[in-house]
Amino acid sequence: MNLNDNVLLADIGNTYFHVYDGSKVEHLLYEDAIGRYKDKVLYYISVNHHLASEIENIALWKNISSLVSIKGEYETMGVDRKVLCLSHDSGVFVDAGSAITVDVVEKGVYMGGFILPGLKVYAESYKSISSVLDIALNKALKLDRLPTTTKDGISYGIIASIKALIDQHREGKTLYFTGGDGKFLSSFFEEVIYDEMLVFDGMKKALRAN
Amino acid sequence: MNLNDNVLLADIGNTYFHVYDGSKVEHLLYEDAIGRYKDKVLYYISVNHHLASEIENIALWKNISSLVSIKGEYETMGVDRKVLCLSHDSGVFVDAGSAITVDVVEKGVYMGGFILPGLKVYAESYKSISSVLDIALNKALKLDRLPTTTKDGISYGIIASIKALIDQHREGKTLYFTGGDGKFLSSFFEEVIYDEMLVFDGMKKALRAN
């Protein structure tokens, strides 16, 4: 398998199609991505099972999921988490998308991780409990004092609980963020790296190893 | 207003109708509770707006929400949270029901709090992201090591993030649990008090103060 800067890399998630064209990352709707790139060579990973049969029929696209592995991985571990964990030798890797996955890697070995609802899914879940809890996340939330409004009580519950659990697992490791809400979520942490290339860096590493 | 052991107390939530009859607490469906108690004197608080018109027409039932206040309360604070906070002079109060509310009280003054989705709502929210994440909470989860399965990764995400944020706010205060999932959730904490009477103790205090 040839890897050069002309090959397109795609990370097909539950909501968006993320494409790296060698210089920038684009986040597209499925049909837009297929329409635009179906006649180009593209290597992809996908966690979107609904889309599988449609994209498997595209002749120039190749699913590289079977090439992706990390020491310590578990059987049903999502391929998107595996490539993210391959991006750096050690770290805590947070992918904040439809779901928020948090994975710990030490010297190339996967140590385990956990899954939280994505920020939009959190907000939706409160709405399902009561119309009184149907609020938009306060994006300017401060975490330095206990909230005294419903809007802030919900926003704080979401952000501060995610932060508290991630901080518990840092233990001196570098904390990496990626994903659609990665930049926003990372703003509540000290000394972190936000990088939308992490998944593609991991894909490149998996391709080079094969 | 007369308060004696013959008066029924009810806490009408988003899912259940909780009644204290002077000796025990029952958790009933709305229609069952109305059918059984509509001819008895009953003092209630309610956060269920759908039910308001139906229960306001019951002659022997009295909504005591307007009698309930705690120093430091905020304008839209749920009456169920206020009575819970009245139950003890100081503490961290966790009500784990349809939503999980966490409120901090110091020497009778409400300091603030936050709201998390209830355990069932958390589990439902993962299901909405992907069928791969449609799992039942692992009730035997251990928090002492990072998970390496999807089921445990989700269960850990839910329980450990709730626990991490609550533990951050203990600061030497007593931690009280109540609500349908209160007993289960409290099992993940050290030195806590689970008491299904807390809300009713707070209601009694509010009634005595008037």
Q: Can you give the three-state secondary structure of chain A, one letter per residue?
A: CCCCCCCEEEEECCCCEEEECCCCEEEECHHHHHHHHCCCCEEEEECCHHHHHHHHCCCCEEECHHHCCCECCCCCCCHHHHHHHHCCCCEEEEEECCEEEEEEEECCEEEEEEEEECHHHHHHHHHHHCHHHCCCCCCCCCCCCCCCCHHHHHHHHHHHHHHHHHHHCCCCCCEEEECCCHHHHHCCCCCCEECCCHHHHHHHHHHHCC
Residue of A113, A117, A157 lying closest to B153 (CB–CB): A113
CATH code for position A192: 3.30.420.40
- The one catalytic residue among B5, B21, B80, B181: B80
Per the CB < 8 Å rule, is B165 touching A157?
yes
pLDDT over 60 (residue B88): yes
Residue B46 lies in a domain: yes
Range(s) of the domain holding residue B39: 8-66
Nearest CA-CA partner of A162 in A142, A125, A188, A128: A188
pLDDT for B199 equals: 97
Query: Is residue B143 in some structural domain?
Result: no
- Residue B111's alpha-carbon distances to A59, A87, A156, in angstroms, are 62, 43, 14
Last residue of a domain, one of A18, A42, A63: A63
In terms of domains, do B26 and B55 share one? yes
Under 8 Å between Cβ of B27 and B183: no
Q: Is residue B27 part of a domain?
A: yes
Query: If you average pLDDT over residues B92-99, what whole number do you get?
Result: 96
Check whether residue A163 and residue A114 sit in a common domain.
Answer: yes
> Of A45, A63, A81, which residue is a domain's last?
A63
Which residues in chain B are closer than 8 Å to A106, comparing Cβ atoms?
none
**Between chains, do A117 and B130 touch, taking CB under 8 Å as contact?**
no
Mean pLDDT across B92-102: 96
Which residues, including other chains, have CB under 8 Å from residue B62's CB and lie 6 or more apart?
A: B41, B42, B43, B44
Question: Comparing C-alpha atoms, which of A162, A120, A111 is closest to residue B148?
Answer: A111
Rounded distance between C-alpha atoms, residue B162 and residue B160, angstroms: 5
φ/ψ of B58, rounded to 5, equals -85, 115
* Nearest residue of chain A to residue B145 (CA atoms): A112
A38 plus A111 within the same structural domain: no
> In which region does residue B156 sit, left (phi positive, over 0), alpha (psi from -120 to 50) or beta (all else)?
alpha
| B70, B74, B94, B121: best to mutate for the A interface, most A CBs within 10 A | B121
Q: B54: pLDDT confidence band, cut at 50, 70 and 90?
A: confident
CB–CB contact B115 A122 (8 Å): no
In a domain, A140, yes or no: no
Best CA proximity match to A120, nearest among A92, A158, A164, A150: A158
Instruction: Give the model confidence (pLDDT) of A34-64 as tens digits.
Output: 999 999 999 999 988 888 888 999 999 999 9
- Whether B11 sits among the annotated catalytic residues: the reply is no
CB of B160 within 8 Å of a chain A CB? The answer is yes
Q: Are residues B59 and B18 in the same domain?
A: yes
Q: pLDDT, tens digit, for every residue of A135-187?
A: 999 999 999 999 999 999 999 999 999 999 999 999 999 999 999 999 999 99
Give yes or no: residues B185 and B104 share one domain: yes
Rounded to two decimals, the pTM is 0.92
More confident residue, A29 or B49: A29
User: Do B102 and B169 share a domain, yes or no?
Assistant: yes
Give pLDDT tens digits for B26-35.
Answer: 999 999 999 9
Whether residue B72 and residue A128 make contact (CB cut-off 8 A), yes or no, is no
Does the pLDDT value for residue B169 go beyond 60? Answer: yes
Is residue B182 over pLDDT 80?
Answer: yes
Q: Which two tokens stand for residue B46?
A: 């309610």
Active-site residue identified among A5, A11, A80, A167: A80
Q: Specify whether A89 is located in the same domain as A193.
A: yes
- Confidence band (pLDDT; 50, 70, 90) for B3? low
Q: Residue B108 gets which letter from DSSP?
A: T
Domain membership of residue A25 (yes or no) is yes
- When CB atoms are compared, the residue of A76, A121, A164 closest to B164 is A164
Q: Domain boundary at A27, A48, A63, which?
A: A63
- Which parts of chain B are beta strand (E)? 8-12, 17-20, 25-28, 42-46, 61-63, 91-96, 99-106, 109-117, 175-178, 193-194
Instruction: Copy the structure tokens of residue A163.
Output: 């932060």
Q: Which residue of B has its CA nearest to A117?
A: B126
Non-local CB neighbours of A22 within 8 Å, separated by 6+ positions = A5, A6, A7, A8
Residue A31 counted as domain residue = yes
In a domain, A23, yes or no: yes
Look at chain B and report how many structural domains it folds into. Answer: 2
Q: Which of A22-26, B15-19, B49-53 has the lowest mean pLDDT?
A: B49-53
A114 and A13 in one domain? no
Same structural domain, A106 and A202? yes
- Are B46 and B58 contacting, i.e. CB atoms less than 8 angstroms apart? no
Say if residue B36 is in the same domain as residue B111.
no
A187 plus A104 within the same structural domain = yes
Which of B 19-48 lie inside 8 A of A, CB atoms?
A: 47
Contact B45, B63 (CB under 8 A): yes
Question: What are the chain A neighbours of B104 within 8 Å (beta carbons)?
Answer: 146
The reply to whether B85 and B62 lie within a common domain is no
Domain membership of residue A124 (yes or no) is no
**pLDDT > 70? residue B1:** no
Measured torsion, CA atoms of residues B97, B144, A113, B157, in degrees rounded to the nearest 10: 10
Contact at CB, B126 and A148, closer than 8 angstroms: no
- When the pLDDT of each residue in chain A is averaged and rounded to a whole number, the result is 94
Contacts of A115 in chain B (CB under 8 A): 126, 133, 150, 153-154, 157
